[in-house]
């Protein structure tokens, strides 16, 4: 479906060319949107929003006295029927009896059927297969699908409507629905962790609820390669695991698409001594040398094993961030760059890999990004699918036009969690000092629904979520679901409706103030990132001189490091402010405490996805500890400064007391860190395997406050012995009292 834009003074009108001319279609769109909004205004949430809604009058009371009637030869083994019965039981505590049509029962009925052509006439076959018709009337509910997947999606819509309210109530209405785009792809990135198999099954069920039908899976070293077993970690997924998961996905009309990087992002491979000689740069495991035939032999070995494990239509050959392409002089890459350029090398790499994959019956996706030049796109076969189309940081002038003219299909790309060093997506816009975040949901809405890319031959969407810095998959679902919703139905709902609809469906109608929770998560995550980025190459406050207790430097170390910062925050929660960094800690602590209070309240209220809130609470607890740490370091520094002043005035006992207070502060914050982190790890390891080190722990532990504390105690002992006749015994040996 192609979407065009017409500008009229003061109005931007979006038209859907498959329906009718603009003059007739614009009122129809307004009417359809009004109908959809009427459901929302009645308290019913749907994501994605359906295409056509005809509201009726009144509502339907639903309960355990209803029956399920199977038509058109359906059996209870069909995934749509199993899903309906399982979710009714699990989510609503309802067990419905099941019968086949024709017994003349007068009970209230949910009727299900596969009825080809019941809706979406004139649509492409790939879209029409996913179409469904849903009619809700008193005493009779009909769910009809053009095909198996359409029936399955009709069941998901029915369950969303039923779960929108605390009461078991449904609206009287008729819904006809089918997708804009064939694929709604989400991204599983396992670069910094490995999810558990059962977790991924739960994620597939969750994705299916929102009509997501493809997963691009970055496995890296979480796949157990048999030919090269050194690559996979000890818990890596086996072929049998993949086949089990793929079967589970396919049953739910979801395709698993393996993603393999080449030649960059290959540290998971090139860190091993066995493969170090294949590095493009001998000192970095980032890129493999594409000029060495052994590199290709290794690639084809890996591809063969992945092809044996995955049986879907697509394979994603990841040409991501080829920064070092052609850097090596010894292998001839640098000379090749001089001859054909980096773009020419990019084309050669993609051509060779895609030929191999297409020879095995795969449709090949790739990242059509730098260093590929737009003028070189026609050198690639138009059977390739550019999975990075529409990304503003990747596209160059005329790229979309050239791909369009070349006949290359594309996926609309949007990153809900990029490579930035934050562990919570920037869903809402903020400005922190020199750290900026976009209006995430609004940008997603506009780019996916109305961007120039809609003029291309769009296969679907790709909603990325990069795991470069150890986020938990639980925090990315708002972005995955919202982006996929616009891939199903462009332009609906408006961005300001996404969060409340998501909250009602994802957590249940009992959830309170979820938008504030997400905004606070956004804000607290940014503060955590900002505080640690400023500290990246810095250390703890310098230890005092053991004789004079004087600290090096003329200003306190902590305050001196941050004194040049006017900490600017632009937020709907706190307004626009400019204040010193340490002054901001009090405000940040208040926001964090508010966040934790809201999370705890909702954990006692919500009926769905409680674990998601537990993950966010574990993160918020760590961020609160971070503000405690920064405040503690300031207090430690004040006590060290006081100790130095007391020494100058020969008040040695008071100097020792100040040092002891500094030690106690350091000891307590270290204990708090370990207590908080133990709980954090306990929560996170529910859905993933243990990691060697967690990023939220690693940065603080790298400070090595325990070693600093040990050294400070040594300084205190040295100073106390020097002035032992001037210091009371209680101060000299506090541990004895």
| Burial state string for 194-216 with b = 16 or more CB within 10 A and e = fewer than 16 | bbeeebbeebbebbbbbbbbbbb
β-bridge pairing 431-432 and 566-571: antiparallel
Q: Is residue 108 part of a domain?
A: yes
If we measure between CA atoms, which residue out of 399, 493, 381, 491 comes closest to residue 453? 399
Q: Name beta bridge partners: 281.
A: 284
Residue 27 has pLDDT above 50, yes or no: no
Query: Residue 107 sits in a domain of what CATH number?
Result: 3.30.379.10
* CA 255 – CA 307 distance, rounded (Å): 14
Buried b (16+ CB within 10 A) or exposed e, 460-477: bbbbbbbbebbbbbbbbb
pLDDT at residue 469 greater than cutoff 80: no
Percent above pLDDT 70 for the chain: 85
**So what's the pLDDT on residue 471?**
81
Mean pLDDT across the stretch 50-55? Answer: 95
Q: Is residue 435 a part of any domain in this protein?
A: yes
Q: Is the pTM of this model over 0.75?
A: yes
Give the CATH number of the domain where residue 444 resides: 3.20.20.80
318 and 190 assigned to the same domain: yes
Q: Are residues 605 and 665 in the same domain?
A: yes
Q: 130 and 257, same structural domain?
A: no
- Put residue 341 in one of left, alpha, beta given phi > 0 → left and psi -120 to 50 → alpha: left
Co-location of 478 and 444 in the same domain: yes
Residue 560 lies in a domain: no
- Looking at every residue in the chain, the average pLDDT score rounds to 87
Band of residue 729 on the pLDDT scale cut at 50, 70, 90 = low
SS3 assignment, position 388: strand
Residues 276, 405: one domain? yes
Per residue in 230-272, pLDDT tens?
999 999 999 999 999 999 999 999 999 999 999 999 999 999 9
**Strand bridging mode 255-261 / 183-189:** unpaired
Q: Who wins on pLDDT, 87 or 722?
A: 87
577-601 pLDDT per residue, tens: 444 555 678 888 999 999 999 999 9
Domain boundary among the residues 507, 541, 570 is at 507
Asked whether residue 319 is assigned to any structural domain, the reply reads yes
The answer to whether residue 717 sits within a structural domain is: yes
Q: What does the pLDDT average to over 510-536?
A: 85
Q: Of 507, 542, 573, which marks where a domain is finished?
A: 507
Asked if 185 and 461 touch (Cβ cutoff 8 Å), the reply is: yes
Average pLDDT (316-331) is 87
Between 650 and 735, residue with greater pLDDT:
650
In this prediction, residue 527 carries a pLDDT of 84
The tally of domains found in the chain comes to 3
Q: Does residue 191 sit in the same domain as residue 229?
A: yes
Residues 524 and 494 in one domain: no
117-157 confidence digits (pLDDT tens)? 999 999 999 999 999 999 999 999 999 999 999 999 999 99
| Range scoring the smallest mean pLDDT among 85-89, 607-611, 694-698, 729-733 | 729-733
Is residue 31 assigned to a domain?
no
Domain range for 670 is 518-552+588-736
Q: Domain for residue 577, yes or no?
A: no
Residues 497, 443 share a domain: yes
| Domain end call among 454, 477, 507 | 507
Partnered with residue 213 across adjacent β-strands are none
Least confident among 91-100, 525-534, 606-615: 525-534
> What does the DSSP 8-state code read for residue 473?
G
* Residues 145, 275 share a domain: no
Please check whether residue 561 lies inside any domain of the structure.
no
Alpha helices in 489-609 (DSSP H): 495-507, 514-534, 557-562, 581-603
- Of residues 469 and 442, which shows the higher confidence score? 442
Shared-domain flag, residues 460 and 545: no
- Pick the closest to residue 255 from 204, 210, 306 (CA basis): 204
CA-based torsion, 94, 99, 101, 104: positive or negative: negative
pLDDT > 50? residue 382: yes
pLDDT in tens, 525-580: 888 887 877 555 456 888 999 999 998 765 565 565 555 444 445 554 444 444 45
Q: What is the mean pLDDT of residues 160-165?
A: 96
Same domain, 629 and 497: no
The per-residue pLDDT for range 480-500, each reduced to its tens digit, is 999 999 999 999 999 999 999
- 171, 187: one domain: no
């Amino acid at each position: 479906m192609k979407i065009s834009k017409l500008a009229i003074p003061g109005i931007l009108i979006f038209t859907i060319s498959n329906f009718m001319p603009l003059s007739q279609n614009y009122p129809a769109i307004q009417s359809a949107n009004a109908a959809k909004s009427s459901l929302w205004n009645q308290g019913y949430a749907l994501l994605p929003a359906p295409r056509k809604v005809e509201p009726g009058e009144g509502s339907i009371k639903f309960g355990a006295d209803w029956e399920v009637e199977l038509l058109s030869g359906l059996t209870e083994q069909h995934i749509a029927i199993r899903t309906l019965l399982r979710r009714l039981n699990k989510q609503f505590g309802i067990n419905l009896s099941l019968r086949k049509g024709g017994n003349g029962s007068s009970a209230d009925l949910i009727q299900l059927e596969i009825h080809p052509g019941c809706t979406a006439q004139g649509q492409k076959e790939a879209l029409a297969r996913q179409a469904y018709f849903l009619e809700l009337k008193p005493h009779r509910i009909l769910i009809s699908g053009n095909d198996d997947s359409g029936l399955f999606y009709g069941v998901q819509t029915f369950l969303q409507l039923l779960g929108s309210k605390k009461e078991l109530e449904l609206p009287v209405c008729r819904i006809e629905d089918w997708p804009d785009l064939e694929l709604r792809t989400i991204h599983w990135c396992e670069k910094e962790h490995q999810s558990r198999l059962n977790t991924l099954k739960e994620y597939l069920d969750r994705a299916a609820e929102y009509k997501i039908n493809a997963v691009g899976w970055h496995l890296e070293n979480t796949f157990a390669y048999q030919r090269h077993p050194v690559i996979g970690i000890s818990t890596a997924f086996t072929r049998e695991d993949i086949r089990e998961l793929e079967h589970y996905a396919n049953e739910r009309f979801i395709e698993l698409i393996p993603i393999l990087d080449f030649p960059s992002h290959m540290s998971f491979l090139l860190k091993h001594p066995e493969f170090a000689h294949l590095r493009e740069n001998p000192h970095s495991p980032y890129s493999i040398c594409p000029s060495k035939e052994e590199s290709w032999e290794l690639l084809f070995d890996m591809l063969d094993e992945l092809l044996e494990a995955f049986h879907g239509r697509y394979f994603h050959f990841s040409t991501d961030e080829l920064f070092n392409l052609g850097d090596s002089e010894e292998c001839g890459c640098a000379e090749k760059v001089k001859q054909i350029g980096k773009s020419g090398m990019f084309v050669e790499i993609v051509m060779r890999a895609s030929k191999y994959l297409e020879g095995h019956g795969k449709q090949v996706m790739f990242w059509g990004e730098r260093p590929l030049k737009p003028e070189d796109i026609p050198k690639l076969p138009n059977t390739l699918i550019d999975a990075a189309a529409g990304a503003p940081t990747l596209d160059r002038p005329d790229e979309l036009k050239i791909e369009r003219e070349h006949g290359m299909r594309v996926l609309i790309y949007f990153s809900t969690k990029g490579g930035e060093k934050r562990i919570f997506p920037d869903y809402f816009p903020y400005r922190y000092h020199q750290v900026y975040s976009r209006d995430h949901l609004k940008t997603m809405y506009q780019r996916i629904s109305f961007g120039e890319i809609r003029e291309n031959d769009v296969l679907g969407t790709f909603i990325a979520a990069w795991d470069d810095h150890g986020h938990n998959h639980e925090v990315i679902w708002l972005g995955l679901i919202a982006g996929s919703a616009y891939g199903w139905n462009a332009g609906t709902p408006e961005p300001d409706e996404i969060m409340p609809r998501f909250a009602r469906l994802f957590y249940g109608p009992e959830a309170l103030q979820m938008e504030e929770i997400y905004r606070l998560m956004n804000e607290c995550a940014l503060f955590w990132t900002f505080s640690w980025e400023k500290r990246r190459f810095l250390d703890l406050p310098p230890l005092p001189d053991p004789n004079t207790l004087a600290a090096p430097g003329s200003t306190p170390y902590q305050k001196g490091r941050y004194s040049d910062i006017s900490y600017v925050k632009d937020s709907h929660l706190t307004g626009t402010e400019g204040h010193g960094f340490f002054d901001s800690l009090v405000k940040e602590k208040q926001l964090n405490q508010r966040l934790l209070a809201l999370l705890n309240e909702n954990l006692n209220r919500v009926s769905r996805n409680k674990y998601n809130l537990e993950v966010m609470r574990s993160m918020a607890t760590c961020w609160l500890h971070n503000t405690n740490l920064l405040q503690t370091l300031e207090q430690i520094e004040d006590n060290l400064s006081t100790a130095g002043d007391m020494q100058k005035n020969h008040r040695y006992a008071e100097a020792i007391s100040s040092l002891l207070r500094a030690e106690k502060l350091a000891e307590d914050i270290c204990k708090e860190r370990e207590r908080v982190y133990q709980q954090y790890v306990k929560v996170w390891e529910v859905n993933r395997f243990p990691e060697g080190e967690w990023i939220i722990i690693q940065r603080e532990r790298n400070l090595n406050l325990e070693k600093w504390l040990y050294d400070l105690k040594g300084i205190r002992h040295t100073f106390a012995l020097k002035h032992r006749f001037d210091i009371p015994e209680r101060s000299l040996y506090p541990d004895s009292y």
